[in-house]
Amino acid sequence: MFEELERINTRPKPFEFYTASDLWTDEHTSKQMLSFHLDEEGDISSRNKAFIDRSVEWIASHFNVGAGTKIVDFGCGPGLYTTLLAQRGADVTGIDFSKRSIQYAQGVAAKEGLTVRYVNQNYLEFEMEGRFHLILMIMCDFCALSPNQRRHLLGKFHMLLEPGGFLLLDVYSLTAFEQREEMVKFETNLIDGFWSPDKYYGFLNRFKYEEDKVVLDKYTIEEATRTRTVYNWFQHFTCEGLEKELTACDFAVEKFYSDVAGSPYNPKGTEFAVVAKKP
């Protein structure tokens, strides 16, 4: 028991483990995540509906979205953005790790008579011959990736964009990093049964890495028949740090915003967004 508790409470190196598949492809947790996505009032897996509507309005205006605009949404979930953009005539592709979310998005597209290309795949592995005018990566997905993964993905974005194409993504700020505190929590059926339909014991260890500006939520789930550890990483950025990563991959920053709805940049906000251009 002591050795197991030591393992549970061990602090890994930043981004030492990558367990995205455990969250998005597990039968039970993928169902839970979809329900969070579809909660129109909440902001857990997706923004609330009012924000998404406002965000799409701004995206459509800022990037002159219309018939023939080729857009790809990395981490599209159940199609909350892709559906609205396709309704405006855009040629839309959505990529997501969750088969359940992709199937839901496909159902919505079929019901509304929309042509949307959906790909059920880890977006780090996505390849396509075509090119896009706009790439979206929303809900701070970029922050869940290691420096090497981010560099790889930015290279992929650059390759997928048309010359003069744009990238829109959002990230956590240092304000958010400062607000988070290390913690340890143990609870039967942690997060109200989120991790399994059966009884389990859940441990949450939150670690902060001051030098790297990274936060880790490490979940250890002890069930009768298995033990799982899920690592949720959160990289936090300054504008200067994010711009450095973008320029290293041959992107030019157009402007920083407070969010992906085009709100003016707030240096004290917990998140911010960036529009970057491929020359």
Q: Give the pLDDT confidence of 96-118 residue by residue, as tens digits.
A: 999 999 999 999 999 999 999 99
Residues in the chain, how many?
279
Instruction: Note the pLDDT of residue 69.
Output: 98
State the residue for tokens 């090497």.
148
Q: Can you tell me the mean pLDDT for 223-246?
A: 97
Dihedral over Cα of 238, 241, 246, 247: its sign? positive
Strands 252-257 and 271-277 come out as: antiparallel
Please determine, looking at this structure, whether the domain spanning 41-172+238-277 carries the CATH number 3.40.50.150: yes
H/E stretch holding 34 reads: helix 27-37
Residue 218 burial (CB < 10 Å; 0-12/13-18/19+)? buried
- At residue 43, does pLDDT exceed 70? no
Both tokens assigned to 104: 């839901």
Q: Where in the chain is the domain with CATH 3.40.50.150?
A: 41-172+238-277
Instruction: Note the pLDDT of residue 25.
Output: 83
Query: Do the beta carbons of residue 102 and residue 118 sit within 8 Å?
Result: yes
Instruction: Note the pLDDT of residue 33.
Output: 86
- At residue 42, does pLDDT exceed 80? no
- At residue 44, does pLDDT exceed 70? no
User: Tell me, what DSSP letter sits at residue 143?
Assistant: G
Both tokens assigned to 243: 């711009």
- At residue 39, does pLDDT exceed 80? no
Q: Can you tell me the mean pLDDT for 209-217?
A: 98
Instruction: Note the pLDDT of residue 131.
Output: 95
24/114: higher pLDDT: 114
C-alpha 132/C-alpha 135 separation (Å) is 7
Query: Do the beta carbons of residue 52 and residue 73 sit within 8 Å?
Result: no
